[in-house]
Amino acid sequence: MPRLPLIAAAAIALAASAPLGAQDAYPSKPVRWVVPYAAGGLPDTIARVLAQKVSESLGQQVTIENRGGAGGIPGTELVARATPDGYAFLVADVGQVAINPHLYAKLSYDPAKDLVPVSLLATANLFLVANQAVPAKDFAELVALARAKPGVLNYGSSGVGSIHHLSMESLNSALGLAIVHIPYKGTGQSIPALVAGDVSLAYSAMPSIAAHVKSGRVKVLAVSTAKRSPTAPDVPTVAELGVAGYDFAPEIGLLAPAGTPPAIVNRMAQEVAKALKSPEVAQRFAQLDIVPVGNQPAEYAAQIRAANEKYAQAVKVSGARID
């Protein structure tokens, strides 16, 4: 009689260890992180810095695949339709998970049904920058200039419905301005246009503008986030300059195809969190004005839901719609 409970306990222990053993066998080949943008932007930078450390920890190479264009839809759809076996992930920003559903009349994927959140990798600040020729030394002078000459100033964005577009149109709406939108295909085009003087203004994360700020070719007027940047503490936020509640921050996260085993999703979230704590990653992100996060799937899912509400309103204010 006493042997039966021991046998039962052993059977339960064996069953419980099976998923762990399966998880330990993962990964057995390279893992692909798809960035739905061209190389060089914020999501791509974050992905490449992290991929190196995650590769070391996983024991398999994490490769970066850039699939840019069309609001990140091709790259997102690629992952949404991928086999949910833990070998394909999406490095997304708010565009793919919280903006596109409100922007496109017909979207080829449903982020809530086709993707599962893994972890919010990092956030960043968007700086409002002006070409050196713009006759405004600060945000107040810019607003005065825009009001005095409606429709004369313009701004470049990384495309219709991008966070750069929506944050500026929200500013236009809040302050009654008429700064004209000039869409480009990514910051790889919009920032060179700003430096060349083809556009007056732009919103950008620091990696794309740091060299131009240092050289004096562009000037920083404000930051889009609720708090000042620790790397640029003298730059005021738009909120403290008079637009209450104004807060637009790039949120770069990792997602997997729906149906990916929870053990693999949690494993990748743990690997990301570990990589973000490494001194090398922390130092590099600090240099680039990137704030590491590395949270759990449920936390990231809640943040996506909150972003959905915010950007539904921002898209409405902008009037943008793509059929």
46 and 134, same domain (yes or no): no
Evaluate whether residue 115 is within a structural domain: yes
Quote the domain boundaries for residue 206: 127-223
131 and 113, same domain (yes or no): no
pLDDT(4) > 60: no
24 falls in which pLDDT band (50, 70, 90)?
A: low
Digit-coded pLDDT (tens) for 288-312: 999 999 999 999 999 999 999 999 9
Digit-coded pLDDT (tens) for 104-123: 999 999 999 999 999 999 99
How many structural domains does the chain have? 2
Calculate what percentage of the chain has a pLDDT beyond 70: 93
User: pTM for the whole thing?
Assistant: 0.86
CA distance 204 to 220: 10
Here the tokens at position 55 are 């590769």
Beta strands in the chain (DSSP E): 31-35, 62-66, 88-92, 115-124, 127-131, 154-157, 180-183, 201-204, 218-223, 251-257, 290-292
Evaluate whether residue 243 is within a structural domain: no
Name which of 88-97, 205-214, 232-241 the model is least confident about: 205-214
Q: Which residues pair with 144 in a beta bridge?
A: none
168 and 217, same domain (yes or no): yes
CB neighbourhood size of 301 (10 A): 18
